[in-house]
Amino acid sequence: MIKVTVLGRASAKPTVTSHPSAQIVNVNEQYYLVDAGEGVQQQMFRCGINPLKLRAIFISHLHGDHVFGLFPMLSTMGLCGRQTPLKVFAPRPFGEILEYHLKYFDNQLPYTVEWVEVDTTKHKIIFENRTLEVWSVPLRHRVPCSGYHFKEKSPELNVDKFKIAKYSLSIAQIVAAKRGEDITLEDGTLLKNSELTYLPFEPKSYAYLSDTSRSAIAARRVKGVTLLYHEATYTADQSKEAKLRGHSTAADAAQTAVAAGAERLIIGHFSSRYKSPEVLLEEAVKIFPNTQLATEGESYTL
């Protein structure tokens, strides 16, 4: 199960109703923070999410609206007694910034903050555990920038208990079937693995692509994604400005969702020039009907 909670959906200039970029990705009750715009810890509190539960933090790039909220949250976690080490995945030169923050503001934290450099030119696994892979996805922005693709690992096969009884399968045969092997019975009958086993659930995936100009390569790298978040800073009439600033229009986001074969699309990172983001939604749904606006405080379950 993957659940995405939007904490911020504004672009560089926050508004009275929107905060800068930040999201919580909950994968089977493992909590990850993606980007950390200003006010992120207050938003987490409002959504009932304890920062002490964070397993890791992923920063897309080093523009302030994606990182300014991180440092006060590090301090708060120290005040709350966190002792578990925390990894922060981010591009260069985040290590230098973190070093100065720890030196001048948090030199007595009760836990370790470890920077893991993200190479924004590489598409590769940067984090992995028993149930999850996180891939970096190079993006096209004015500074080095990476998206993140959260992918549930395929679960172990289950063996149909009725087939176990029907064919009197031994423990060794059951174990072999769970490995994906076909089974040969004593009388020579060959049982195809697909006849005996099933996946307990279909693995889901979530891709976070912000900030970026439209990228066909990024779309290919998240092919088949269950839920895609893509920035939609501008409407199509501002496409020239979008390209100049390394951003996307709502139409760009929708076209990326089509190219990726995504099941659902969420758009965010809205420019403050739009009094209502509905105009951006209207543009996107004409191209990709299953589009929703990122709404702060809302969760999207896969």
Residues with catalytic function:
65
Residue 34 contacts residue 61 (beta carbons within 8 Å): no
Count of residues in the chain: 302
Longest CA–CA separation in the chain, Å: 75
Residue 152 contacts residue 131 (beta carbons within 8 Å): yes
**Rounded to an integer, what distance in angstroms lies between the CA atom of residue 193 and that of residue 178?**
9
Residue 35 contacts residue 67 (beta carbons within 8 Å): yes
Give the H/E segment covering residue 301. strand 299-301
What one-character-per-residue DSSP string does 44-109 give? HHHTT--GGGEEEEE-----GGGTTTHHHHHHHHHHTT--S-EEEEE-TTHHHHHHHHHHHT-TT-
**Rounded to an integer, what distance in angstroms lies between the CA atom of residue 193 and that of residue 200?**
15
**Rounded to an integer, what distance in angstroms lies between the CA atom of residue 231 and that of residue 283?**
13
Comparing CA positions, the residue from 283, 267, 292 lying closest to residue 209 is 267
**Rounded to an integer, what distance in angstroms lies between the CA atom of residue 35 and that of residue 8?**
9
DSSP state of 155: P
Residue 288 contacts residue 265 (beta carbons within 8 Å): yes
